[in-house]
Amino acid sequence: MAKKSATPERPPARRRRSDGERSRAAILDEAARLSTVEGISGLSLSRLADAVGMSKSGLFAHFGSKEELQLATVERANAIFDEQVLDPAAQASTGLERLRALLDAYLNYVEAGTFPGGCFFATVLVEVSMQPGAVRDRLLAFLQDWLGRLEAAVRDAQREGEIDKKEDPGQLAFELESALLLANTQFTVAQSSEPIERARRSIDRRLKEAAG
């Protein structure tokens, strides 16, 4: 008697999962954009459903609560930040190159208009700063990680002799971040490249000074 062949896997099931992931990503992209304009606190399933043309019940298939939606939005914004800011700096061979790459990529991320309200994290963190909870904690973790990356790059550059060891890494990272945040704010308001270019000049001047 002929042996029955094994039942093949069903590609349609995999396609459904893939379609669902794409749909979720599209929803979260819109949620992140809305958050930088209307605030993440005002982000609700009903508001988002209107924006993406879905039913509220359809969104419940992806998110069970407002907080779950907010946290998922933060994670999506973080993935975009990683792709546009962190990844371009990953191949830098020295601390100073990595530091410059991070700063330059951040300014590119802002100038590209990735989000209509400017840097997602700069905008949303201010909004939730006085609202304790999981969303605020996650945003603070992002900020600590980002500043930590800048400071680590400064320390590496000091070990490699490219930044004066007398420089306080934390202070230098703070000053560089200040230039980024002001450029983000002014660019978002004016929609002009001038703040971005001013930030680049300020950063270049400060790093040359830090080289000793």
Least confident of 18-22, 186-190, 199-203: 18-22
Mean per-residue pLDDT, 98-123: 97
Query: What rounded mean pLDDT belongs to the chain?
Result: 89
pLDDT at 20: 55
Amino acid (one-letter) located at 11: P
Q: Tell me the mean pLDDT in the region 10-24.
A: 51
- Cα–Cα distance, 23 to 53 (Å, whole number): 12
Query: Higher confidence at residue 64 or residue 75?
Result: 75
Q: What band does 5 get if pLDDT is binned at 50, 70 and 90?
A: very low
Determine which of 9-23, 28-42, 151-165 has the lowest per-residue pLDDT on average.
Answer: 9-23
Q: How far apart are CA 161 and CA 198, in angstroms?
A: 27
Taking the C-alpha atoms of residue 153 and residue 107, their distance in angstroms, rounded to an integer, is 17
Instruction: Inform me whether the pLDDT recorded for 8 exceeds 80.
Output: no
Q: Is the pLDDT of residue 6 over 60?
A: no
- How far CA 112 is from CA of 88, 142, 184, in Å, comes to 15, 21, 11
Asked whether the predicted pLDDT for residue 25 surpasses 90, the reply is no
Question: Which DSSP symbol is given to 3?
Answer: P
pLDDT of 46? 81
pLDDT digits (tens, 9 = 90+) for 185-197: 999 999 999 999 9
Instruction: Note the pTM of the prediction, 2 decimals.
Output: 0.86
Kindly state the average pLDDT of the residues 114-139: 96
Residue that wins the pLDDT comparison between 5 and 38: 38
Residues 6+ apart with CB under 8 A from 124: 35, 36, 39, 40, 74, 77, 139
**pLDDT of res. 17:** 43
Helix orientation angle between 66-81 and 134-159, rounded to the nearest 10 degrees: 20
Judge contact between 122 and 109, C-beta under 8 A.
no
